[in-house]
Structure 1
Amino acid sequence: MIAETVCSAVSAAGLGIAVVTAYRKRFLSAARIAAYSLVPVGLVMTGVVGWVADTAFSPSAWAGFVVLGASWMLFMGTRAVERRRGGTRKERREARAAQQPEAAVAPKASAPSLGPSTRSASRPASAPRAGAGDEFSDIEAILKKHGI
């Protein structure tokens, strides 16, 4: 009963402020204030306020909130431990399998060449290649995409 009275008083005060705001020719703000001030009355009329008041003073409801909090803490704790360990066993097994090198079909073709350079002597080392402009435009596009 007290909660309904308080909500009605808050709504009446809000509507009064909305009228004063509309008098000052700020109609958009007045409409927004009126909308906010009608919410408590709507909650009283739908019975939400009575339900919240009954829940707030119910020991079994508070015990339920404690149980929900405990379950949430357990859930978050297990996730933190799982992250620290590196995932589940299945995930660790898959990660190890992905790290093992697979046999290459042509090991000589896929290995980088560490021998002497095959660059022709007619072209200086600092001269840009013919396709270098395309590579730089791709790099510029990537940097612009990331805002750099």
Structure 2
Amino acid sequence: MLTTTVCVALSAAGLAVALLTAYRKRFLAATRIAALALIPVGLAMAGLADLAGDVAAATADWAAGLVLKPSVWAGFAVLAVSAVLLVVTRIVGRRRGSSRAERRAASGGERRGAVAPGASTPSLGPGRPPGREEPSGKSGKSGKSGKRGGGDTGLEDFEDIEAILKKHGI
């Protein structure tokens, strides 16, 4: 009951200020003040003012319990230990990760990538055995013979591109 009385009094005071503002011919400001003045009585009529009081009281009880109970502080200590353990395991895992990968590579347990560990150029897959002819579509392109050495080096494509660039004067 007291909350409703306070809210009505606040709204009445706000509406009085709005009337004085309107008397000075500042109607836009008076309308804003009137809108704000109606908020407390609206909250009281909807029951939200009592709810806000209950929330404030519950928050105060929680804060008092937080400060005064040792079990709450012990709970925060357990949470802190948990966070520290998670951070430490991440750091140790990152440091061990590189040595573990190196051990797997040395033992052959890791899948081979495109580049062999000691290779200077990337592997382009299995090469053709010496003396084997290239498919007919590629042999007439650059005027080279159809026979190749151990594997395709990829230089044939670059020679074609270089010839086109020279043709255009680039």
Bin for the TM-score computed over the shorter chain: 0.3 to 0.5
Please give the TM-score of this superposition, normalised by the length of structure 2: 0.42
Which of the pair has the greater relative contact order for Cα pairs under 8 Å at 6+ separation?
1
* Structure exhibiting the larger radius of gyration computed from Cα positions: 2
